[in-house]
Amino acid sequence: MTRASVMGSPNIGVFARATDSYAIFPEGIPERKLERVSRFLGVKIVSLDLGYSKLIGVLSAANSKGLLVPHYVTSEEEKLLREKLKVEVERLKSKYTSAGNLVLANDVGAVVSPLLGRRELATVEDVLGVEAVHGSVAGIPLPGSMAAATNRGAMLHPRASDEELKLVSDVLKVRVGVGTVNGGVSYVSSGIVGNSRAVLVGSLTTGPELMTVSTIFE
């Protein structure tokens, strides 16, 4: 685990997405930094903007098997992602475009915002190849924003209920816990980019917060 920034920001989870088979970072990051991060995470990094935006973490939901992107991503971008990542890529056909905020996933399961209907839930299951269920975190229907998950653990908003913690643990089959990042930020996905091998946390994350992250994602 190490502290990091992306695009000069400690909100690294807003700009990047990582899985056990690949990571996506926005264009404009120095090649030497991407090489270091690639070695740290143990996966190849694809550098691109998504739908002309650098907010990769907000706009995409992913695991090692697939990638969900907003409906306005072009066919050419979708094809490019498939070629570079070698996984299933699908546009989420919904009026909601922030797939990263709507879906909390790893390689075993997915917790999906109740804002999405059964059709979108089925799309998540098909593309990511996992069981998907509706759920909220801290009473807010944005599980992907309120929590961060890998195949080893999931960290949730400090106000997550016992029932929500159990749901995430049961669906993703990982240990769970609550905490903050970047000096008290409760939207934990904004400050975490990681996979089973390693975890990047926002550069403003404090020592006690690091301890909590380390315990959950150990």
The residue assigned the tokens 């546009």 is 91
Q: What is the pLDDT of residue 209?
A: 98
**Residue 213: domain span:** 2-217
- DSSP state, 186? S
The CATH number that applies at residue 134 is: 3.75.10.10
Chunked mean pLDDT (size 10), the chain, 218 residues: 96 98 96 96 95 95 97 90 94 94 98 97 98 98 98 98 98 98 98 98 98 96
User: What per-residue confidence (pLDDT) applies to 165?
Assistant: 98
Q: Which residues of 135-160 are buried (b: 16+ CB within 10 A; e: fewer)?
A: bbbbebbbbbbbbbbbbbbbbbbeeb
- Supply the pLDDT for residue 74: 86
State in Å, rounded, how far the first CA of the chain is from the last one: 10
Q: How many CB atoms lie within 10 A of CB 62?
A: 28
- Tell me what pLDDT residue 88 has: 95
The reported pLDDT for the residue numbered 121 is: 97
What whole-number distance in Å separates Cα of residue 43 and Cα of residue 197? 9
Contacts of 145 (CB under 8 A, 6+ apart): 98, 100, 101, 187, 189, 190
Number of domains in the chain: 1
Which residues have a Cβ under 8 Å from the Cβ of 48 and sit 6 or more positions away? 24, 26, 27, 77, 80, 81, 84
What is the CB neighbour count within 10 angstroms for residue 172? 25
Cβ(59)–Cβ(79) under 8 Å? no
